Structure formats: structure tokens, C-alpha cells
Amino acid sequence: MQKEKYTISLVILASAFCLVPNAMAEKGFSIEGGLIYDRPIDDDDERAFSHLRPGFGYVANLGYDLFDNLGFELGVMHSRHDYDFSSSGGGILEEVAGRTAFFLKLRGIPLRISNSELVLAAGPAYFDISGKMLVQDNDASAGFSGWGFVSNAGYRYHLNEGLAVGLFLGINLVRYDRFDLLGYNTGVQGAFPKGNSIGWGLTIFHRIGIPQ
């Protein structure tokens, strides 16, 4: 399940990039992507999987600038996290959970000095995290999903008119409202878990066209 969702997210994003024709370049399209480190900030007992640990991943988006300093971006964020799966022989067995978020953000540039600029973006996102759980002493595929909110601040340095490198710092907020076990929607006992986290990393930005 994790590999399938990871592959699907990459295919969707790659397809979106390929659909942007050169004839639309002057309309203000851009692409951006990079590597991130995502760190959960909830208490252990509030997380979707036991003792979910920080993990590495990627973020990528297809953007469109309505004006020189205001636009929006449609993208995906994915990370993989180790977590405690079960106890065996006095030790802890670990598994890996994959978390994916599809987002739509409003993006603005409130400050620009020479080749440097401050970038702020925020908007809704749909989160999904999947892994394995023990059910009657057997491992079973399980996942949580729900709507949340993502925001980020970044520093971007332009190497030339169309290419820039940047620093990324973001916060992700979500309380899952759906639990799937073996592919079926299942209820949970008590409150649904949270998936709040902070993330940071490095990105590369490429402007396909200049806004008019």
C-alpha cells in the first residue's frame, strides 16, 4: 500500500509538469521541489502509529503566479517514518509508515531584496498515513486520512532569472477522521489520532514563465 501511494503521487506530479506546454510559459508557471525532514510534534499516545519518529521525504509543487508577488501552488508532500510495531523476544520490532499530503496553497512574496526573497504559503491539504498494525496477532495494513492545514515560510535566492535555491520551513496540522483497516473504513475507540508536524529542507525553484 505504501509503495503504491508513493508511486501514484510521483506519477500525478510528473504528469502535471508534462502538461504545461511551452506556449503557456508567459503565464507565470513554475515548478519547485526538494528534500525535507519531517518531525512529528504530538505526544506519542496521540500519534497514528506508536512512537512515530522523524523521517525524510520530499515536497514538490506546480505553481502559477497571478502577479509578480502573488500566486498559488498545487503539490504533494511525502515522508517515511519508523515506528514501534510490536515487542518480540524482549526487543522492539520496527515498521515504516508512509505519509502523503496533497495541498493547494496561496503563495505570496512579501519581501524581495536584490536576488533574495521571502516566500510565505498556506492552504488546505488532504493527509494520508499508512502502515501496519497487529490485529489478533497478525499484521494488517492500516491507514488514517483526513483534511488539514499546511503552511510554510521560505528563503529563496535566485541564481538567474528563472532558477533559484531555497530553504523551506513548514508546519502541518491535521486530526485524522477516517481509519481504514485492510481496505475497509473502520471506526476507532476514543479520539482519532493527530498528525501535526514541522518540517524543513532544501528546495530548487524554476520559473517557467514571467507573469504579465
How high is the mean pLDDT of the chain?
86
Report how far residue 205's alpha carbon sits from residue 188's, in angstroms, rounded to the nearest whole number.
41
Query: In the structure grid, which three cell numbers stand for residue 32, read together?
Result: 519547485
Q: Helix or strand or coil: residue 13?
A: helix
25 — pLDDT class (breaks 50, 70, 90): very low
pLDDT for residue 101 is more than 90: yes
pLDDT at 20 over 80: no
pLDDT (tens digit per residue) in 65-90: 888 889 999 999 999 999 988 776 66
Query: According to the model, what pLDDT value does residue 209 have?
Result: 64
Residue 98 CB: number of other CB atoms within 10 A?
A: 22
Count of positions (residues) in the chain = 212
Lowest mean pLDDT among 18-22, 55-59, 194-198: 18-22
- For domain 2-207, the CATH architecture is Beta Barrel (2.40)
Q: How far apart are CA 50 and CA 82, in angstroms?
A: 9
C-alpha to C-alpha distance for 147 and 102, rounded to whole angstroms: 10
Q: What's the average model confidence in pLDDT over 154-181? A: 94
Closest CA to 105 of 40, 150, 42, 46: 150
Query: What values do phi and psi take at 42, rounded to 5?
Result: -80, 160
Q: Decide if 34 contacts 201 (C-beta within 8 A).
A: yes
The sign of the torsion formed by the CA atoms of 56, 201, 152, 75 equals negative
E-state strands within the chain? 29-40, 55-67, 70-88, 91-113, 116-135, 138-158, 163-174, 178-181, 184-186, 197-207
161: cell is 532569472
Query: Up-side HSE of residue 54: CA atoms within 13 Å toward CB?
Result: 8
Q: What pLDDT shows up at residue 23?
A: 39
Map out the domains of the chain as residue ranges.
Answer: 2-207
% residues pLDDT > 90 (the chain):
60
* Residue 8 pLDDT > 60: no
Q: Per residue in 166-179, pLDDT tens?
A: 999 999 999 999 99
